[in-house]
């Protein structure tokens, strides 16, 4: 989890972007001034980077992990709340898992 978190942090572009652990094995990343297409590109780049990681296990072996991502975007003129943003992204995440994992799905 620490290696995945470290990778997410490398995609923060400035002090307005924020990556953090969100529950058990989930993370959240907020990107400011970013449209849905660019959010998709960033999420896909993160997914590929995580997929390429080799992570040592406690038994001294190596393992790989994959990443499923649900993405969403809101714009200042819309009436959506941050709770709406998270809920729709979470729904997209579960769709990504249902569709076979290791993919990025838009809300």
Q: Which of 7, 12, 15, 25 is catalytic?
A: 25
Rounded to two decimals, the pTM is 0.89
Spatial separation of the C-alpha atoms in residues 34 and 100, rounded to whole Å: 27
Confidence of residue 87 (pLDDT cuts 50, 70, 90): very high
Residue 93: pLDDT band by 50, 70, 90 thresholds?
very high
Whether 99 sits among the annotated catalytic residues: the reply is: no
Q: How far apart are CA 29 and CA 10, in angstroms?
A: 11
Whether 105 contacts 36, CB under 8 Å: no
pLDDT band at 85 (very low <50, low <70, confident <90, very high): confident
Using the predicted structure, report yes or no on whether residue 1 has a pLDDT greater than 90: no
pLDDT tens-place string over residues 11-66: 999 999 999 998 888 999 999 999 999 999 999 999 999 999 998 888 989 999 99
Say if CB 32 and CB 16 are below 8 A apart. yes
CATH fourth-level superfamily of 2-106: Reverse transcriptase/Diguanylate cyclase domain (3.30.70.270)
With a CB cutoff of 8 Å and minimum separation 6, the contacts of 36 are: 71, 72, 73, 106
Q: Please compute Rg for the chain using Cα positions.
A: 14
Sorted by where each begins, the domain ranges of the chain are: 2-106
């Amino acid at each position: 989890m620490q290696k995945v978190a470290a990778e997410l942090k490398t995609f923060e572009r400035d002090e307005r972007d924020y990556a953090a652990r969100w529950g058990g094995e989930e993370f959240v990343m907020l990107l400011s001034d970013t449209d849905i297409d660019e959010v998709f590109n960033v999420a896909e780049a993160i997914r590929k980077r995580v997929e390429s990681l080799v992570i040592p296990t406690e038994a001294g072996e190596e393992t790989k992990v994959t990443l499923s991502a649900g993405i969403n975007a809101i714009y200042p003129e819309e009436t959506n709340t941050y709770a709406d943003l998270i809920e729709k992204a979470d729904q997209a995440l579960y769709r990504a898992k249902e569709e076979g994992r290791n993919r990025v799905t838009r809300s």
